[in-house]
Structures are given as C-alpha cells and as structure tokens.
C-alpha cells in the first residue's frame, strides 16, 4: 500500500463513538428494558432507518422538516432517516395490520437522527427505546403502561423515582370550565408546561399574553396543578374543578381506575403521583400522559415519557388505531446513573484475566481458558508473552478482578497463582480448583 | 384531524420490516453472540451510522463508491451511511488508540447500508455482527478467533458445521513456487475462489485466460486444494508444495499452531478443516482466512467469515495495527435456521395468557398478572373483556402455551381454569398454585 496522506480520523459534529466503558452499560440497560417489556407480552419489531420522505413528513411540522436528514437515493427517490420510532410504527401498523392482529403490543429499540442544533448538548443520532399497545382503548392497557415504567425503573435500580401522571381530558375539562376557547387551548397548555421551570406567576402572565385569557381564567386553570397530596385526595379535589365537563369527568374516572389498578398491582403510593400540570406535547396525546423523574436528579427532566393517543396511523390507513405507550430516555438515564455513581445491574463483569507467562505454553493456556469458559467464566487470555507487569496493567485497566498466573514451575506442579487485582493479594491454588474459585469470585 | 388523502404505507425497495416473528429470533441470536464474544473478553463498541464520506471512501474501490448512500448534510458536509463495520472500526481505533490501549478486543453489532442491486435477494440495509482483536500478531489470537466461531455455532445449536481455514501465506508460497508473478496473483486467486462452484477444469481455464498463467502452472496451483483429509495429513502434504518459500513456510507453521491450539482447546477434528482453496477477498487478508459452512446447507455459503490482516487503519494513522477477526452472517444464519426448522436456543417463549373474562374484575386480573410476573413469568393480560373465543384465538396466534381463565365463580372459589392451548386440555387449579404451575410450564 502506498504511503498516502493520512485522513484525520474524526466523527461528525453531533455524533459520537461509544467506547466499551459507555457501550457496556447501554447494552445492559437495553437488556433490562427488553426483559421487562417482554414480561408484559410486548414483542420486538424493527423498521428501516431510511423511509420515503412522504411517509416521514406526513405528520411533520416545520421543525421536523428542518431537522430531517433528507436526500435523493440511487433510484431518484426522495428519502430520509427516521427522526423517531413513532412515525415508522404508524406506517408499520398500517401496512401490516392484517398480519399483526389487534391488540398489538410491540417494543422497538433503534437509532433515530435529527439535524438539531447541538449547542445544548444534544446529539444528532440517539437511541430510542419505545413500547406501545395498539388497537385498544382499555384502561387495563393504561395501567399496564404505567406498570411497565414502574417495573423498568425498579429493575434498573432506580426505584427512587416518581411517575407523574395526568389525563388530557382533565386538563380539557378545566379549560372548558374556565371558559377557555378551543383555539386558546394549545397556547395555555404550552404555558402550563413551563410551570416547573418558571413558577405560577410567570405562567399566568404568559397565558394572558400568548393565549389571550384573562387573569381569573388563568387563576382557575392554575388551581389545578396547585392540588397536591396523596393520589385519592388529589382526585377528590379535582372533582369540583371539572364538574359538568364530559371530557373532564371521563378523564377523572380513568385516573381513578389508574389509581385502583396500580394499588391492586402493589405499586407503592409514593411511586406515582397525579401531577395536573403535565401536558406533554400539544395535540398528540389524548388520554393519560406520564413523565418520570428521578428523586435524586429531578433537574435532568423526564427519563421516560408517554401517554395515550386516539389514532396512531390516520395518515396511512382508514382503520382507527388508538394506543398507549412510552419511551425510555436511554441516554438521559445513563448520564443520570453515571452522575449518581450507580452501575446498571446485570452489566457483565470483566471476568478473569489469564496471563501469558510462559512463552512455551501457548496451547496449555488456550486449553485452560477454554475449560474455564465451558464452566461459564469469562476469561481473557493475554495474547502474547509480554512482561507480567505490562499484562497486569492491561488487566487492571480493563477492570478485571482476578488474574491467574501460571509459570513453568506452576505448570509442573499443577498449581496457579491467583492475584486479586483490587487488593493486590495472591494465593496459590490447585489448577483443579480454579474453576470453582473463578465461578465464585468473578 | 382532517380527512386528508391516505399516504400508502410502504417501505423502500431493498428495505424490510421485522415483524415479531422475525425480530424475536434475531434478538435471541444476537444475545448468544454477545454472550460468546464477552466470554472471550471482547467488549462492545458503537459508532455513528453517518460518517464523513472522506472517511468511508478512503479505502473504497469503485464498487463501494457506487453503493454508498451519500449526501450533503445541513452543514454542507459530504456524508454517507456506513457500508460495513470495518471502516468505522479502523477510524475508531485510529482516533481513540491512546485511550483504548492495545491489544483491543471489541465486538460491534449494527446496521450497514449499501445501495446494491436487490435482484439477488440482497437487502440494502442489513445487520453486521463483527468481533476483532487489534494490535497483536499473536497466534493465540488466531486460535481464539476460530474458537469464538466454533463456540458461537455450538451455542446457536448448529454444531454440525465446518470451519474451513487457510492461510494466505500458503497460497502465496504455492504461487511463488509455480512461478506466478505478483501481478498475476489476484486474478489467479479470483479464479481459485470459484473452485466450489465451477470445478477445477474451468478454474484452470480461467486462470490461463484471465491471469495468463500456463497449463502446468495452473496444475501446480490446483494441486493445493486437491489435498484433502484430516488436518495433520493435509499440512504434511502441503509441505512439499511450498518448500523453499518463506511466506509459504511461515503460513504453514501458523496452520500447524492453529491445529495444535484447537486440539488443546478440545475442538473436535471434524469441526475445522484446512481448505486450501479459500482465498477470501483479494488484498485485505494477509494471514489466516476462515469461512464457516453448515453441514446441512453448504449451498447457502459461508455463515461466518474472517481472517487476519496486516494493518487495519493505515489510512487514518501511522501506527501499525494488525488484527484478526470475523463477521457473523446474521441474516443468512436466520434463514438457515428457518429452513432447517430449528429455533434459536434461548428465544423467549410467549409466556402465559390471562383472559379478561369478568368485566368487573379488571383490577383483580392486573394484580394476579403482576404477582405472576414478580415470580419471573411472562404474562400477557388481554386488555378487554371480549368473547373468550376471540381472546383464545389471539393467544393461540401469539404462540402462547397456557391460558388462565378465571370467571366470577372461580374468583369466588379462589381457583382458575388453566388451558393448554396446544392440546386443548384444561385443568382446575387453586390460584395459590398458579405461580408454580406457570413457572414449570411456560
């Protein structure tokens, strides 16, 4: 090969590599999500990264259009990279409805791409991890969606979190009773969504400025999120605010059902509360909405969000497909776990290091390593007979716990030195006892 | 929402959806690969789907250029979708070498995209599943690469397969001794690669026509793949063909080491054989090369291929980085398993179906389902109190094995009807015994 110019190795702005230290925990987190989703009967699907632009932008607003990675393919087709997993799900369900049957419960883990401004630490490629139940309006599916989220955080080791749940019908009922017109609703909810960040006074101001409601209407609306307390008490106090509103009363009945269902399923009172300020997006969700906050790090925002929608795939089929689901914020959760110095449960440990100490014994090391692996032990055999210090430094850097060192004398005697890389202590054991030792320690 | 025109739901030509019936086994297969790779100390990495075109095409030939999904991004950058995981690995290792340390053992599972002709049943998006050991020329790594492949197929339940292994140095030595010039080599190897398909006579003809060797040279070269038999016998017979050639003798020594190492590690003689016709690509591999064929379906081609290379990342760094690895053909393997009517071991079973039979008991069903899940059972609760026949049809279609049916009378009595959906037989059990029954049966 010619000594040509070196191409500088670099990634695109907004894109990143995952080194093993980051890829390992992510893999472990996805494994937990998979296990939890499956335990409720959700099944995996996958869809292409590239779709017709017509499909992707069918529902898009201006924001989506601008962010889409869009180009013309070899066949002159107008194509783009998916920017979420919801649009592909809608297209998928519309296309395969007959084959899938309803209700259809799926999970989907995959990368999505958005040409966003990267200044706020956002990435242009990120992983989504969604689950949804399509084709039913059942309260049971609402409850199970929340149960999945609760179980997920519990299994990740983050049971100190709170699901904040609301129902869009309750919000609508309060707006209705406040005399807010349908055309004012979106601006009111946009203002309400900022409650956590800017407080009730500024929200009231914004409602008046941007939605054109008056001060007493704003106060009526803000009475809703001011209701806090245990779940039943909150629902009781909401009753008067939505009295007479059909959508409000229907929404409240569903929140009562959610409360009962979760209690029956053994979810502690504190794990989920009704937070009547949660609006989540403006016109997509129509029923329950949920956000999930870590008690130790509420400031990082919701780590798992979702809700119920009326009609998933109206752009692609005449069949009405209601659904409910949520999306796990994988990157945000991993960042939170790192900040909290927690590791993902079940993340594979490094295993055992086997030093290549005696240059003449390559095949013996191979045989030993394979024997230990057959017993379920992860074994990393150093590939070359380098200096022992260099090998142990490598093992330490990899975070391996035990190093097995066998030189000529040990081969003769059928023994091994086993070094604990954390404490530095060593012990000599019979090679026959190595498997049991590794199984218990690594 | 307005009753606008329906957009026909469809995927791009050469792309496909994975329904649960296909996505489930794929997920199970990847889980096995992950487990096996890890047990040898390989660790996961990930890289972006999009890279600078300059990076992707650095090594490309005309074929790659034509197939690349390439476009200009929002920032005016010339970018493309990765077409394999090897180029990104080279860029990754060059970029992070200091942080990674050598040797570096990684696996990487991810989609790649090629705008290929789809006529031969090829897809334009497919999953690659590679593992490599970078930064060492050790024979141990060659042997471990083959051990990984062997273990992988064993764990997938396809132990009836054969690794066919060769060494590029042995091929080079034979060409050298046949008096074939360096410039003729590639055309000779291209012809040799067709031996399985067109037989020795046609290969000899092609060698003469396209590489310009004479008939006796072609015969000398074809003597090599004519050598078959057990591993040691093959190597003994090769000796005379490569005598005096430095690269030939070095290659033969490595194959001898491979033979010894695999024997020491307990790999049966029949699981791997030396096949001296395997050339695998023309200038990428420089040491051992391997292809893996299923004994029951040799015609589908190699399901896992790889080899050793001299220098992975010469385009991106001056640091010489030799390596060895292989790539699992996930799609091909899944197709083979389907054709052989085998299922992937460890693929999750459907679990237990819980009918929603008594409309008043929604919370009781939720509570029961959650109790069973806490015991490790996958439970799919039907979300609505539809007709039982319809619910059981749904359960059957999902491939679920057991259905639990509890109506008002059973709730009163604390019992449950448990129906085996395969046989149609039912039994009545105490609800207290359900968990143990489900754990043992589903």
DSSP assignment string, B105-171: EEEEEEEEE-----TTS--SEEEEEEEEEES---HHHHHHHHHHHHHHHHHHT--SEEEEEEEHHHH
**B142 and B220 in a common domain:** no
pLDDT for position B84: 94
Q: Identify the CA nearest to B350 among candidates A27, A265, A89, A44.
A: A44
Query: What integer pLDDT is reported at residue A119 of this predicted model?
Result: 72
Nearest to B19 among A26, A99, A394 (CB): A99
The set of residues, in sequence order, having a beta carbon less than 8 Å from that of B130 and lying 6+ positions away, is B85, B86, B89, B107, B108, B109, B325, B326, B327, B328
Last residue of a domain, one of A288, A310, A339: A339
CA–CA separation, A201 vs A62, rounded Å? Answer: 31
Angstrom distance (rounded) from CA A369 to CA A351: 12
Interface-testing mutation among A74, A262, A314, A360, with chain B (most B C-beta atoms within 10 A) = A74
Q: Per DSSP, what are the bridge partners of residue A352?
A: A379, A402
Regarding whether B266 and B168 lie in a shared domain, the answer is: yes
Mean pLDDT in residue range B56-75: 84
* Rg of chain A on CA atoms, in Å: 28
Q: For A79, which DSSP code?
A: E
Residue A124 lies in a domain: yes
pLDDT at A278: 86
Most A-contacting residue of B1, B18, B23, B46 (CB-CB within 10 A), to test interface? B46
By Cβ distance, the residue of B7, B92, B96 closest to A315 is: B7
> What pLDDT score does A60 carry?
62
Q: Per-residue pLDDT tens for B260-311? A: 999 999 999 999 999 988 876 656 899 999 999 999 998 899 999 999 999 9
Mean pLDDT value of segment A312-339: 94
Question: What's the CATH number where B305 sits?
Answer: 3.30.930.10
Q: Do A138 and B384 touch (CB under 8 A)?
A: yes
Q: Give the contacts of A148 (CB within 8 A, at least 6 positions apart).
A: A36, A37, A40, A42, A131, A326
Do A318 and A399 reside in the same domain of the chain?
no
- Nearest-CA residue of chain B relative to A38? B378
Q: Is residue A118 pLDDT above 50, yes or no?
A: yes
Nearest-angstrom CA–CA distance, A90 and A310: 12
- Is B155 part of a structural domain of the chain? no
The answer to whether residue B1 scores a pLDDT higher than 50 is: no
* Residue A3 within a domain: no
Q: Is residue B268 part of a domain?
A: yes
User: In this structure, are strands B70-72 and B104-113 parallel, antiparallel, or unpaired?
Assistant: unpaired
Using CA atoms, how far apart are residues B381 and B370, in angstroms rounded to an integer? 10
User: Taking residues B73-95, what's their average pLDDT?
Assistant: 95
- What's the rounded mean pLDDT across residues A225-245? 92
Q: Would you give the distance in Å from CA A437 to the centre of its chain?
A: 37
Same domain, A33 and A178: yes
CB A290 within 8 A of CB A326: yes
Distance from CA of A261 to the nearest CA of B (A): 5
Peptide linkage before A247 cis (omega within 30 of 0): no
Q: H/E element holding A105?
A: strand A104-113
Q: Are residues A322 and A182 in the same domain?
A: yes
Q: Is the pLDDT of residue B2 over 50?
A: no
State the average pLDDT over residues B380-386. Answer: 96
Chain B residues whose CB is inside 8 A of the A320 CB are none
Name chain A contacts of B96, Cβ cutoff 8 Å.
17, 19
Round to whole Å and give the CA distance between B381 and A145.
12
Q: How far is A414 from chain B (nearest CA, A)?
A: 16
Model-level pTM? 0.94
Enumerate the residues of chain B whose CB falls inside 8 A of the CB of residue A147: 366, 370
- Express the helix, strand and coil content of chain B in percent, nearest 5 each: 45, 20, 35
Does B171 share its domain with B244? yes
Q: Is the pLDDT of residue B442 over 70?
A: no
Do you know the residue count of chain B? 442
Tell me: pLDDT of A282 over 80. Answer: no
d(CA B231, CA B257): 11
Asked if residue A162 and residue A37 are part of one domain, the reply reads yes
Number of domains in chain A: 2
Q: What is the pLDDT at residue B151?
A: 97
8 Å CB contact of A9 and B356: no
Which is nearest to A134 in space by CA: A56, A41, A53? A41
Nearest to A316 among B7, B55, B74 (CB): B7
Task: Output A60 or B27, whichever has higher pLDDT.
Answer: B27
CA distance B376 to B348: 12
Whether residue B85 sits in one domain with residue B129: yes
Residues B328-335, mean pLDDT to the nearest whole number: 93
Which residues 6+ apart lie within 8 Å of A269 measured at CB? A230, A231, A263
Of A10, A51, A73, the CB nearest to B115: A73
Let me know whether A39 and A166 are in one domain. Answer: yes
Express each pLDDT in B202-247 by its tens digit: 999 999 999 999 999 999 999 988 888 899 999 999 999 999 999 9
Average pLDDT for A7-27 = 95
Does pLDDT of A2 surpass 50? no
Mean per-residue pLDDT, B324-341: 94
Question: Considering the domain boundaries, does residue A219 fall inside one?
Answer: yes
- Residue A231 shares a structural domain with residue A314: yes
Q: Domain containing A366 — which CATH number?
A: 3.40.50.800
Distance from CA of A410 to the nearest CA of B (A): 18
**Which residues touch A55 (CB under 8 Å, ≥6 apart)?**
A87, A91, A316, B7, B9, B10
- The pLDDT, as a whole number, for residue B96 is 97
Q: Mutation test of the interface with chain B: which of A15, A123, A366, choosing the one with the most B Cβ atoms within 10 A? A: A366
Tokens of B45: 């990495």
Given A305, A339, A373, the domain boundary residue is A339
Higher pLDDT, A113 or B182: A113
Mean pLDDT of A339-351: 85
Chain A residues touching residue B365 (CB < 8 angstroms): 140
Does any domain span residue B285? no
pLDDT in tens, B23-63: 999 999 999 999 999 999 999 999 999 999 999 998 666 67
Lowest mean pLDDT of A183-187, A206-210, B75-79, B258-262, name the range.
Answer: A183-187
- What's the rounded mean pLDDT across residues B250-262? 97
Q: Which two tokens stand for residue B284?
A: 């990428």
- Which pairing describes strands B50-52 and B78-81: parallel, antiparallel, or unpaired? antiparallel
Q: Which residues of B touch A33 (CB under 8 A)?
A: none
Examine residue A370 and state whether it is found in any structural domain, yes or no.
yes
- Regarding whether A96 and A28 lie in a shared domain, the answer is yes
In a domain? residue B402: yes
How far is residue A116's CA from residue A191's CA, in Å, rounded to a whole number?
Answer: 23
> 10 Å Cβ neighbour count for B148?
24
| Same domain flag for B20 and B137 | yes
Domain final residue, candidates A339, A367, A387: A339
User: What distance in Å separates the CA atoms of residue A376 and residue A357, rounded to the nearest whole number?
Assistant: 23
Region of A149 please: left (phi>0), alpha (psi -120 to 50) or beta.
alpha
At residue A376's C-alpha, the angle toward residues A373 and A378, to 5°, is 60
Average pLDDT, integer, range B308-334: 94
Strand segments, DSSP code E, in B298-401 are 304-309, 323-328, 352-354, 379-381
- Average pLDDT estimate for A72-98: 95
Find residue B71's DSSP bridge partners. B79
Domain of residue A401 covers: 352-441
Mean pLDDT of B311-319: 92
- The Cα of B362 is separated from the nearest Cα of chain A by a number of Å equal to 7
* Chain A interface, best mutation among B27, B44, B75, B103, by max A CB count within 10 A: B44
pLDDT at residue A191 tops 80: yes
Chain B residues with CB inside 8 Å of A268's CB? Answer: none
A280 — pLDDT class (breaks 50, 70, 90):
low
Query: Which residues of chain A are within 8 Å of residue B133 when distances are taken between CB atoms?
Result: 383
């Amino acid at each position: 090969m010619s000594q040509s110019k070196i191409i500088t190795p670099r990634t695109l702005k907004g894109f990143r590599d995952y080194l093993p230290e980051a890829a390992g925990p992510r893999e472990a987190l996805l494994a937990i999500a998979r296990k939890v989703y499956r335990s409720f009967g959700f099944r995996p699907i996958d869809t292409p990264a590239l779709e017709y632009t017509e499909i992707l932008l069918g529902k898009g607003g201006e924001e989506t259009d601008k962010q889409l990675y869009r180009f013309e393919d070899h066949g002159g087709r107008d194509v783009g990279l998916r920017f979420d997993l919801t649009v592909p799900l809608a297209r998928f369900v519309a296309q395969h409805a007959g084959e899938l049957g309803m209700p259809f419960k799926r999970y989907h883990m995959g990368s999505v791409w958005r040409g966003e401004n990267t200044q706020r630490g956002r990435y242009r490629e990120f992983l989504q991890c969604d689950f949804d139940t399509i084709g039913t309006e059942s309260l049971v599916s609402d409850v199970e969606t929340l149960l999945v989220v609760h179980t997920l955080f519990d299994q990740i080791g983050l049971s100190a979190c709170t699901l904040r749940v609301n129902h869009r019908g309750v919000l609508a009922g309060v707006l209705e009773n406040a005399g807010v017109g349908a055309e004012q609703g979106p601006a009111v909810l946009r203002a309400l969504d900022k409650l956590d960040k800017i407080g009730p006074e500024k929200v009231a101001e914004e409602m008046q400025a941007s939605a054109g409601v008056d001060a007493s209407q704003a106060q009526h609306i803000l009475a809703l999120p001011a209701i806090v307390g245990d779940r039943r008490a909150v629902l009781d106090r909401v009753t008067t605010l939505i009295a007479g509103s059909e959508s409000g009363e229907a929404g409240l009945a569903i929140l009562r059902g959610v409360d009962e269902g979760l209690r029956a399923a053994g979810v502690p009172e504190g794990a989920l509360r009704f937070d009547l300020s949660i609006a989540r997006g403006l016109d997509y969700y129509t029923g329950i909405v949920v956000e999930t906050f870590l008690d130790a790090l509420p400031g990082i925002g919701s780590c798992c969000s979702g809700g119920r929608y009326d009609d998933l795939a109206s752009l692609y089929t005449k069949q009405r497909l209601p659904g409910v689901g949520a999306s796990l914020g994988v990157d945000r959760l991993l960042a939170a776990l790192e900040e909290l110095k927690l590791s993902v449960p079940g993340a594979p440990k490094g295993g055992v290091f086997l030093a290549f100490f005696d240059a003449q014994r390559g095949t013996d090391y191979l045989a030993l390593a394979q024997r230990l692996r057959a017993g379920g032990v992860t074994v990393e055999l150093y590939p070359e007979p380098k200096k022992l210090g260099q090998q142990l430094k490598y093992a330490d850097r990899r975070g391996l716990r035990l190093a097995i060192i066998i030189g000529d004398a040990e081969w003769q005697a059928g023994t091994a030195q086993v070094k604990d890389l954390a404490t530095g202590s060593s012990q000599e054991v019979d090679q026959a006892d190595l498997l049991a030792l590794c199984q218990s320690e690594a």
